[in-house]
Amino acid sequence: MEKAITRTDAAGLSRRDTMISIGIIGLLFFIFGFVSWVNAILIPYFKIACELSNFQSYLVTFAFYISYLVMSVPASYLLRAAGFKKGMMIGFWAMAVGAFIFVPAAYTRTFEVFLVGLFSIGIGLAILQTAANPYITVLGPKESAAQRISIMGICNKGAGILAPLLFAAVILRATDAELFRQLPHMEAAAREAALDELIRRVMVPYTCVGTLLIGLGLMVRYSPLPEIDTEQESGAVAEANSTKTNIFQFPHLVLGALAIFLHVGTQVIAIDTIIGYAGYMHIHLLDARTFPSYTLAATICGYLIGIALIPRFISQVNALRICTLLGTIFTLLIIFAKGQVTFLGHTADISIWFVVLLGLANSLVWAGIWPLALDGLGRFTKLGASVMIMGLCGNAIMPLVYGYFADLYNVRLAYWVLFPCYLYLVFYALYGHRLRRWTA
């Protein structure tokens, strides 16, 4: 078995080995983004092809992201037993299984089988996420970790920009706009045949994706990426918080996990609902497919601003405060701002561009919450990180809440669900992260 390295060992790696390792992890984050953000177009695609309600269509994100709640702790045991590189290979292969499940799901046009495939992809992704984050922390100086995380974020969101566009280019056709208009008026047999043909277009692309994921798993397994040891802790860290007996004695961590839950929920709502909101404005799918990319581009702009300004001109915590306040303001503008504007070739209500700007507001929230929530945990740091990863199930829950209110009222008023989320994030940024005990 390969010798595992600690942070101290990693500092001794040659520049070439370090850059190769960071490049491999960057590729992983690109894949995370591509697989995750393609859901933005899968939701309206399945909604049409499988004849779903808004609530049912957002089961796509539920099935995909609930795997983080299920797999966060088992993934850590898997990586400890198999090692990081073998564990990541298993993660890629779990994703490949999910991609192959799309073939029988499409052949039978069974939405429930699609959900099983998405859950399997999510399980593999949860394993990869659990492995990749320690790598990017260890591979380089601790003081520049935030910069490396931002670069990984750009890889992730850059893939997210491409994913909906490439999926739409492969799956959708120029004549589909007319097909979507005719579907409600077709006789039952003709509509079933048209929907079967529409959904079966995913069979070849996802077969190719599954094959590629198997190859990537083998590539990572036999890559020069070093094994890392996250179990060793210095004496000072091991002795910290010696009087603590469980993880729930750290209020700033528990509140931080809830903040992550709400943050990732707001982020996925901003990206995965925007095509549906464009459809509400009578923008058909072939044109609306670009809106998730606009939101992700706004997020990348936020990352670049953070790289340029933090910590030289502004602290990470102040950046978090600004972003959460912006999210609150943009949410209110989505609800109340009205008026037709033409921008980037789209004529739509101005409120949709405030959904796009949520990408900017969300950009630095993740990087702001994590160091605040894990501060001072000492020997509880790894368990605390697992609790934070479990918060990613907000991606699964929050879109369903949005979908419920979209069916109950409409897709615009459903954005009210974001308002209390951002208010809580403002509370955490201003005060919650400083709490070290539950009593006043």
CATH number at residue 139: 1.20.1250.20
* DSSP class of 282: T
Indicate if 389 and 294 belong to the same structural domain: yes
The residues with which 341 forms a beta bridge, in sequence order, are 348
Residue 129: C-alpha distances to residues 240, 267, 322, 377, 386 (Å) = 27, 17, 27, 21, 11
Which residue range is the domain that position 314 belongs to? 236-433
pLDDT at 134: 65
Residue located via tokens 């459903």: 414
Please check whether residue 1 lies inside any domain of the structure. Answer: no
Please check whether residue 20 lies inside any domain of the structure. Answer: yes
Indicate if 224 and 251 belong to the same structural domain: no
Domain endpoint, select from 199, 228, 257: 228
| pLDDT tens digits along 332-388 | 999 999 999 988 888 899 999 999 999 999 988 987 888 888 777 766 766 777 788
In angstroms, the CA 327 to CA 422 distance is: 6
Domain endpoint, select from 208, 228, 248: 228
Residue 274 · residue 256 · CB < 8 Å = no
Indicate if 49 and 158 belong to the same structural domain: yes
Domain endpoint, select from 207, 228, 249: 228
Rg (CA), the chain: 22
Whether the predicted model's global pTM rises above the 0.85 cut: no
Residue 194, phi then psi, degrees to nearest 5: -65, -40
pLDDT at 7: 47
Indicate if 57 and 122 belong to the same structural domain: yes
pLDDT at 101: 95
CB-based burial, 356-390: b 16+ in 10 Å, e otherwise: bbbbbbbbbbbbbbbbbbbbebbebbeebbbbbbb
pLDDT at 102: 92
325 Cβ partners below 8 Å, 6+ apart? 426
Residue 367, phi then psi, degrees to nearest 5: -65, -25
Question: At 326, is the secondary structure helix, strand, or coil?
Answer: helix
Indicate if 253 and 362 belong to the same structural domain: yes
Low-confidence ranges of the chain (pLDDT < 70): 1-14, 133-147, 227-245, 378-379, 381-382, 440
Count CA atoms within 13 Å of residue 413 on its CB side: 7
Please check whether residue 291 lies inside any domain of the structure. Answer: yes
Residue 181: C-alpha distances to residues 26, 43, 48, 169 (Å) = 41, 18, 11, 20
Indicate if 176 and 146 belong to the same structural domain: yes
Residue 20 · residue 224 · CB < 8 Å = yes
Q: How far apart are the first and last CA of the chain?
A: 51
